Structure 1
Amino acid sequence: MPDRRIGVFLCHCGSNIAGVVDIEQISIAVQDLPDVKHVSDYKYVCSKPGQQTIKDSIKKHNLNGIVIASCSPRMHEPTFRQVLRETGLNPYLLEIANIREHVSWIHADDPAAATEKAIDLVKMAIARARLLEPLVEPEVSIKKSSLVIGAGIAGISAALDLANAGFKVYLVEREPSVGGKMSRWDKTFPTLDCSSCILTPRMAEVSNHENITLLTMAEVEQVDGFVGNFQVKIKQKPRYVDIEKCTSCGDCSDICPVDIPAEFEAYLSYRKAIYIPFAQAVPSSYLLDMENCLGVDAVRCGKCKVVCEAEAINYDDHENIIEIEVGTIIVSTGFELFDATEKQEYGYGRYPNVVNLGEVERMLNSAGPTQGHIVRPSDLKKPNKIVYIQCVGSRDELTNKYCSRICCMTAIKQARMIVDKTDMKVYIFYIDLRTFGKGYEEFYESTAQAGVTFIRGRVGEITQDDETNVLTVRGEDTLLGKPIELDDVGLVVLSTGVVAPESTKKVAHALNLSLSPDGFLLEAHPKLRPVDSFNDGIFVAGMAQGPKDIPDTVAQAKAAASGAMALMGKGKISVEPYYSVVDEDKCAGCQVCISVCPYNAVTLNERNHAEVNPALCKGCGTCTSTCASGAISSQHYTDGQISAMIEEYLSVHEESQ
């Protein structure tokens, strides 16, 4: 490397920096430092004129090291790297001193101290810039296939977008049928469109699409590899019914003597040990619940196989392990409803006529357990009064602090459907009504005009007459400022919030993804990268990332699919060269680095030495700091570079003392 010729560019960022920090003082402090050949300042260095100033200065002064004092490198480091590329400089001969977030924004009350700190940071950046080395970005090829985990409306939407663009898709669903929670919902808000009418054509499309391989009753067990080259191991449970042979005639179910509460019907009705989850299920095939089957031999039962004319039933079916290779992964594992038994004061699980939103959805569905009629579970009679209680398991310090976003509108939708069809009186106790979407506020207003009574306040107590199972609801009307009591209540509906399912946590572990404090998958940036994970090539969509309604879920699924397409469409991607490197002459093969790497980037090679996969390594430095023999170093963040920055700071402040 020739002698270092460093250019320093100071950004005003309008008044964000210059309104606090004395830019001229920084310029004076660094202009005579060794290797500094040029210092200039500009109002907005990131602007096109500002970028041109850097380009012109590089050419005029023959600069081969650049220091920019500006905002966080998270904002414009890619911009400035491109400037270096366009002038023929290696983009990694750049150092950014953050004098906005780290100085002016947090020390606005003390400009003198802020200026002194900014000078320190720029001097330290110059010290590091002297030792920067040109780096080469390795290229990684990308397989043009994608794995979508979870086949609710998010997974279905993402899979279809990818498949229609010509990419191979593996769609994995842990349930016997695709469709997710939306397949159980009767209507969508605010238009009251038939949920099944919207969803089932898309369910059939994923089943028949030539570019989609559908794997139901399957879960991702293990994921290895890196962006563009993921090796995935999938475990598929036995169905005991051949989906290619099954005609869905139902003869097997008709003869089955076993009755089990049906999961799909929110346990409000029964199914057989051999069953199809619902009429429009995809695959359109029965399956055998072996845990509840009386027995497959003729002595104990075995009747289903005898009556199956298609010979689709196979008692010897077994678990399969499927291994695939994909370039990208989309996680859309959905949600579960909050377990209302955790809120004992509402009596869920103790009082038969206290139910949740999911159970009422199945009652309202004409294909559901009550053929569309709202009934009391205790005696199947029509209730006179129905009371909804909002925010059960949401916006609650004792359970979940977040808003679940769909509960208010689901309750309003159900209440509207009930008052439109019946003469029942419906009351909704709420804290705040969150009607945030397009047409939602208008739907709420029309529902109130249709006869639903909204009461602002919390319910404090629910009691039950043990002879009649009739409920009494006591609460507070905060608008009137007085207590309220509703008696002769036939049904209490808890507007339960949503929570991340256990399957999300399992997938997060397999993919090494981060979870937010509330248990949902954590996105890389809530504003700028809302569907990206911290792992390149892995995207999140739908309720797996956090509570949202159907339109937002579909929009996010399409965004995730677009992100995956953008990667796979390139064929190759460049990887930032921040990865660690191993000096095999020093490596003892102790494997400590392997145990501490959070990205599984370090392995042991055939020579019993550590080896780093550049595509997986994020340059975090954990392995470097734990290596007892000093065999590992981090490119672009070497010990020498970091030591030079520390020494620069200490030399200045030791002199002042």
Structure 2
Amino acid sequence: MPERRIGVFICHCGSNIAGVVDIDRVMEAVKDIDGVAHVEDYKYVCSKPGQQILRDKIKELRLDGIVIAACSPRMHETTFRNAMREAGLSPYVFEQANIREHCSWIHSDDHEAATDKAIDLVRMSIARAKLLEPLEESEVSILKSTLIVGAGIAGISAALDLGDAGFKVYLVEKEPTIGGHMAQWDKTFPTLDCSSCILTPRMAEVGSHPNIELITMAEVDKVDGFVGNFEVTIRQRPRYVDLEICTSCGDCSLVCPVDVPAEFEHNLSFRKAIYVPFAQAVPSAYLLDMDNCLGVDAVRCGKCKLACEAGAIDYDDQEKLIRIDVGTIIVATGFDVFDASQKEEYGYSVFPNVVNLAEVERMLSSAGPTQGHVVRPHDLKEAKRIVYIQCVGSRDERTNKYCSRICCMTAIKQARMIRDKTGADIYIFYIDLRTFGKGYEEFYESTASAGVAFIRGRVGEILEDSETHLLTVRGEDTLLGKPVKISDVDLVVLSTGVVAPEAAKQVSHILGLSQSPDGFLMEAHPKLRPVDSFNDGIFVAGMAQGPKDIPDTVAQAKAAAAGAMGLMGKGKISIEPYYSVVDEDKCSGCQVCISICPYSAITMNDRDRAEVNPALCKGCGTCTSTCPSGAITSQHYTDGQISAMIEEYLSAHE
């Protein structure tokens, strides 16, 4: 192999590097190394003039390898590689030595040590650059279709954006209807807009959109493939009612003799065994709850089928497996409400007049179980004295440390609505009120002015009168430094936080996504890539990624849709050649690599030898280091390249 002609460019980064590292000494130390054809420094190599210098020197001196000593590759590796491409040089014969974060910033009090370390790093980079190969990127076509998992407001918003842009969308929802939790909310804060008035038109738009295929009562069962070419298997539960035939007339429900607590109403009222979740449900069709059905034959019941003039009921309906191919995936699985029974001191599920925010939300709805009246569940009388307790299941060492972000404003909204409607006495115990959004602080202030009492402090105990079921709330006011006792309370409302849904575990496993310690799906970067996952082509949106209000949820959903459009709009995507390769002559077919690959990128071919899918492989090197036969090599990070760096360092310190 002919001697490489390496160009070394050292960046000052203003005073970030040059203020600590002796640039002249670094240049002097590396200029005579074999293979180094040019050494140059510049104040900002990443700037346009700096990039032009790089391009000019590559052409002028016929450089075939580049080392740039500058900041972290995370910052400007792509910048420098693009400049090399423009000069006609492969971007993969480039090595970046990080002498800012690794030298000047952490050794700012020891200039000599920082300079010595910078010299070592540049020498090691030169040693590796001599062995780098001009690898070639490969391209794969990308399908112009998207799978969206979850059809709450996040999934709906993303689906409409993609559908309107002309992309095919498969919207998968595990419930019988789309809409998510927002469909159960009465009003939105701080404007008190009707939640269903905002949401249901968009639900209807999804149901009739020519580019959106809605698949309800379904969950993702399996995902194979890679960015641009995902093969998805969806498992759909039987509905026992034909969506194409059902007219939503309700005749079947009228004759059903079974009453079951209604999940949509948080068990505050009842539904039939054959039912529609709520009036504006999409799809607008009934479903049969076979677990609570008395029996489908005429001897036991069968009344619903007899009543259905359209013939839509199919007792023989079976579970279906649906297979689709998509280019991108958006995960919008939403959230679950914290189970307040875990906080035993508050008596939830023990005292009938202790409820949570979601239950009060249904009471406030004019279409809800109490027609808009907030009542005591034990006798259905209007509640005249109400106590809210904030941060139940949030900001708590025993449950969840994070803030759920919507509880404070939901409690303030409900208190304002009840106060305005009935004049009830309302007390809100809080730790800190989080009114962070647009118009939130003003809404809180106006609610306090309307007569809602805010008490800073925790509630320590709730007692119940066994005869009247009235409650006594004991706590403290930390601002006054006094204990607080509120007697004859009709209703205690627990401001329950949000938790990651059970579906998050399953989805993260199927898609190979990471979860944060609190169970929500992990984004690639909280600031710069807040809707990207670590897996190319898979995005997260809404509460699936963490607690947030409706505006932030919609904004994130639209960002995820834009990310998916950006990928699919290219038609093809480039795959960086960092993937591992297998020497079949050495491979024993032991499959150790398959068991340890975190990206499921390795399979066995028809010759019983390991084979790496370049589109799935991230070049992490796990398989390379564990292969007992030494049959796997990581391109761009070969054993020879790494050994050369180590040997260069050791030779300089003998």
Q: Provide TM-score, normalisation by structure 1.
A: 0.98
In 2, Cα distance between equivalents of 1:485 and 1:103 = 60
Q: Which amino acid aligns with 1:262?
A: A
Quote how far apart the aligned CAs of 1:308 are: 0.9
User: 1:580 maps to what in 2?
Assistant: 580
Instruction: Name the residue aligned to 2:454.
Output: 454
Shift of 1:104: 2.2
Query: Which shows bigger deviation, 232-241 or 13-22?
Result: 13-22
Q: How does 1:366-515 map to 2 (within 5 A)?
A: 366-515=366-515
1:125-150 alpha-carbon deviations (Å, 9 max, x no partner): 11100100001010010011110110
Amino acid paired to 1:585: D
Whole-angstrom CA distance in 1 between matches of 2:82 and 2:349: 61
RMSD (Å) for aligned C-alpha atoms: 1.0
- Aligned-residue offset at 1:161: 0.6
Q: Deviations over 1:504-535 (max 9, x none)?
A: 11111110111111111111111111111111
2:229 equivalent in structure 1: 229
User: How far, CA to CA, are the matches of 2:246 and 2:103 in structure 1?
Assistant: 69
Q: Residue 616 of structure 1: CA displacement?
A: 0.4
CA distance in 2, matches of 1:19, 1:502: 52
| Correspondence list, 1:140-159, <5 A | 140-159=140-159
- Cross-structure match for 1:621: 621
- 2:209 corresponds to: 209
Query: Matches of 2:21 and 2:406 in 1, distance apart?
Result: 47
Letter in 2 for 1:595: S
Task: Output the amino acid matched with 1:41.
Answer: D
CA distance in 2 between counterparts of 1:399 and 1:158 reads 32
Tell me the alpha carbon deviations over residues 468-522 of structure 1, each in whole angstroms, 9 at most, x when there is no partner.
Answer: 1111111111111111111111111111111110111111111011111111111
Q: 1:108: how far off?
A: 2.3
Q: CA deviation at 1:2?
A: 4.0
Give secondary structure in 1 for the equivalent of 2:316. coil
Alignment correspondent of 2:10: 10
What is the distance in 2 between the residues matched to 1:428 and 1:11? 58
Amino acid corresponding to residue 230 of structure 1 in structure 2 = F
- Counterpart in the other structure of 2:258: 258
Is 1:65 paired with 2:72?
no
In the alignment, which residue of structure 1 is the partner of 2:651?
651
Q: Distance in 1 between matches of 2:271 and 2:112?
A: 76
- Deviations along 1:101-136, one digit per CA (max 9) or x if unpaired, are 222222223222222222111111111001000010
Residue of structure 2 in register with 1:289 after alignment: 289
**1:474 match: secondary structure:** strand
Secondary structure of residue in 1 paired with 2:248: coil
Structure 1 Cα separation of the partners of residues 236 and 71 of structure 2: 50
Q: Does 1:108 align with 2:108?
A: yes
Deviations along 1:390-419, one digit per CA (max 9) or x if unpaired, are: 111111111111111111111111111111
One-letter code aligned to 2:431: I
Q: What secondary structure does 1:515 align onto?
A: coil
| Equivalent residue, structure 1, for 2:171 | 171
The answer for the alignment partner of 1:531 in structure 2 is 531
Render the CA deviation track for 1:364-411: whole Å, top value 9, x for unaligned: 000000000000111111122111111111111111111111111111
Give the aligned partner of residue 272 of structure 1.
272
Matched, 1:41 2:41: yes
List gaps (5 residues or longer) in structure 1: none
Residue aligning to 1:343: 343
Give the Cα–Cα distance (whole angstroms) in 2 for the partners of residues 124 and 486 of structure 1. Answer: 72
SS at match of 2:350: coil
Tell me by how many angstroms 1:568 deviates. Answer: 0.7
- The CA distance in 2 between the partners of 1:439 and 1:229, in whole Å, is 44
Query: How far apart are 1:52 and its partner, in Å?
Result: 1.5
Deviations 1:318-337 (A, max 9, x none): 00000000000000000011
- Name the residue aligned to 1:637: 637
Structure 1 residue 24: deviation in Å? 2.1
- Give the aligned residue type for 1:4: R
Is the partner of 2:16 in helix, strand or coil? coil
Measured in 2, the distance between the counterparts of 1:348 and 1:120 equals 64
**Aligned-pair distance for 1:68?**
0.9
Secondary structure at 1:133 match in 2: coil
Where 2:17 maps in the other structure, the secondary structure is coil
Listed as ranges, the matches of 1:187-198 within 5 Å are 187-198=187-198
One-letter identity of the residue aligned with 2:413:
K
Distance 1:616 1:501 in 2: 27
Matched residue of 1:463: which SS? strand
Write the deviation string for residues 167-213 of structure 1: whole angstroms up to 9, x where unpaired: 11100000000000000000011110000000001101111011111
Give the secondary structure class of the aligned counterpart of 1:294: coil
Shift of 1:11: 1.5
Partner residue in 2 for 1:27? 27
Give the whole-Å Cα distance in 2 for the aligned partners of 1:400 and 1:22. 49
Residue of structure 2 equivalent to 1:138: 138
- SS of the residue aligned with 1:426? strand
| Aligned residue type for 2:185 | W
2:127 partner amino acid: A
Distance 2:101 2:393 in 1: 37
User: Residue by residue, what CA displacement relative to the aligned partner does 1:69-89 show, whole Å, maximum 9, x if unpaired?
Assistant: 111111111100001001110
- Structure 2-normalised TM-score? 0.99
Structure 2 counterpart SS, 1:16: helix
1:571-610 equivalences in 2 (<5 Å):
571-610=571-610
- Structure 2: distance between partners of 1:473 and 1:41: 71
For residues 215-248 of structure 1, give each alpha carbon's deviation from its aligned partner in whole angstroms, at most 9, with x where no partner exists. Answer: 0000000000000000000000000011111111
Letter in 2 for 1:605: N
Amino acid at match of 1:52: Q
**1: CA distance, partners of 2:2 / 2:443:** 70
Q: CA deviation at 1:256?
A: 1.1
The corresponding residue for 2:321 is 321
Distance in 2 of aligned mates of 1:470 and 1:53: 80
Q: CA deviation at 1:649?
A: 1.1
- CA distance in 1 between partners of 2:458 and 2:42 (Å): 57
Question: d(CA) in 1 for partners of 2:162 and 2:596?
Answer: 36
Identity %: 78
Amino acid at match of 1:49: P
Structure 1: distance between partners of 2:17 and 2:268 = 63
How many angstroms does 1:619 deviate by?
0.2
State the distance in 2 between where 1:593 and 1:513 align.
Answer: 20
Secondary structure at 2:18 match in 1 = coil
